[in-house]
Structure 1
């Protein structure tokens, strides 16, 4: 059976110096890429309507209105050996789509109330919930899962912390590569092929710099805070949803939504503490 890491590992050893390739591939993490066609059971859906308990309120941003339902992930359908999520239950992802609502600017990054994650435990009676007035659902599409390799790139703290025998960090070694400073990102893009890049777990695929640094700076209030690297290391990707023409989703300038969560909150199932941010070109 082909390993989830084979494609990216092969490219790394073909294109990078042997020691750099070995150090980088040792950092790989599996993730579950969410695709619109694939083998196996449906693992969730994008757009359409959420399924919610009757007593659950539709998430709302006080002063702005109800959030848009973005996607759902059915935890029991995910490959267990690669999933960081509970064995059962459904995760529902909501975000305020300022562009779709006709707002002058997208305020999501300015307020934690602009997004929400709801976890519905297995066995709880649910029903499909119609969107509130003023919210037009995105076109619905089923999602299937495939396990792929992810790796740190674009300013991730692990590239600074991982060193080769010369004393250089992986980030410094990448700067010396003739193909450019984003050699790791280029390899990941080639290994994965065309998007959209919907994903659960693993390393985030940044459009700009490391998403972990961005979240840490939001929490601490500044990129200059000396605790930034320590805080960034506490956050991992819960899910990312890419701009998707078929689903009618465009985040900023064809960007990406990232729901990040601290590792201790993930282990404890405190999904309400996840934070969402957006990056775009």
Structure 2
């Protein structure tokens, strides 16, 4: 039986220098890919959320109500594979301000403000009722099943500069020396991931599959007032882990900018304490 990392490991050993391949494989983390297909439902895109009666529909002050994006059933996920501490039961609800579906929205660009998204956790056993969004059309509902997949740092992820091979070169340096002119050094890692799995990349846990650069870097820059030169930048970026990512999806009528992706990240200590309100959404598009 093929394990969650066999396919990507085999491709890495075939395409990368031997030392770089083994070091990159050591960094792999399992993630839970969410796909439309047969099997027990673990998550759902679109539709209407089930909210407790005392919970207001989340909104972005000055802009309007957020759109409901997805729900994830924590008890149904194969959480034993993940390296992030998700609750054993309960439902995670993801909201985001989609200007393209907001009536009269003057600026349909991707919402990057911290108030433009929200994660709500509903504990198991809580009384809930299905709620319709105020004044906006919900996305079509799409049921999703779970598959455990290999995820890995790619593009300019800090781990590619911090992890060294036996020869002393970083992973980024090790692949740049063999790719030749005209190739962007760390893009090769994303290219390998794309060969194994071409999406859509709905996912819980693991490493993000960035459309542009590392989402952890983007959030760290915002937390440090856009100071990429701050001496604590790498430490701040390392504090953030991927909670979930939701890809553009034709079936659910979701398109983030130019066929981009929404990434919800959270500091590891906030996740461990169940402070899901501290999660931030980092949208990216091509």
TM-score bin (small chain): over 0.9
State the Cα distance separating 1:60 from its structure 2 match: 0.7
Bigger drift between 3-12 and 171-180 goes to: 171-180
Of residues 102, 115, 132 in structure 1, which corresponds to 2:134? 132
| TM-score (norm. length: structure 2) | 0.94
Do the aligned partners of residues 213 and 139 (structure 1) sit closer, same or farther apart at CA in structure 2, a change above 3 Å counting?
same
Residue 205 (structure 1) aligned with residue 209 (structure 2): yes
Deviation at 1:2, TM superposition (A): 1.9
Q: Deviation per CA, 1:69-89, whole angstroms, max 9, x where unpaired?
A: 000000000013124311100
Residues in 1 aligned to 2:108 and 2:176: alpha-carbon distance in whole angstroms: 35
Which whole-Å CA distance do the structure 2 matches of 1:108 and 1:224 have between them?
25
Aligned residue in 2 for 1:279: 284
Give 2:262's aligned residue.
257
8 Å CA contact retained: 1:141, 1:247: yes
Runs of 4+ in 1 over 6 A off after TM superposition: none
Whether the 8 Å contact between 2:42 and 2:144 is mirrored in structure 1 is: yes
Contact 1:174 1:184 in 2 (8 A): no
The residue number in structure 2 matching 1:63 is 62
Let me know the Cα RMSD of the aligned residues.
Answer: 1.2
SS in 1 for 2:207: coil
1:134-187 alpha-carbon deviations (Å, 9 max, x no partner): x11001010100000000001111101000122211011222232732111111
C-alpha deviation, 1:221, in angstroms:
1.1
SS at match of 2:156: coil
1:44 aligns with 2:43: yes
Deviation at 1:107, TM superposition (A): 5.3
Unaligned runs of 5+ in 1: none
In 1, are the aligned partners of 2:17 and 2:175 still within 8 Å (CA)? no
Structure 2 CA distance for partners of 1:261 and 1:91, relative to 1, 3 Å: same
Q: Kindly indicate whether the alpha-carbon contact (under 8 Å) linking 1:177 and 1:183 is maintained by their aligned counterparts in 2.
A: no
Query: Residue deviations 1:34-93, cap 9 Å, x none?
Result: 001143x21010000101111111001111110000000000000131243111000000
Give aligned pairs, total: 277
Residues 1-281 of structure 1 mapped to structure 2, 5 A cutoff? 1-39=1-39, 41-83=40-82, 84=84, 85-101=86-102, 102-106=105-109, 108-109=111-112, 111-133=113-135, 135-178=136-179, 180=183, 181=185, 182-192=187-197, 194-222=198-226, 223-281=228-286
Deviation of 1:18 (Å): 1.2
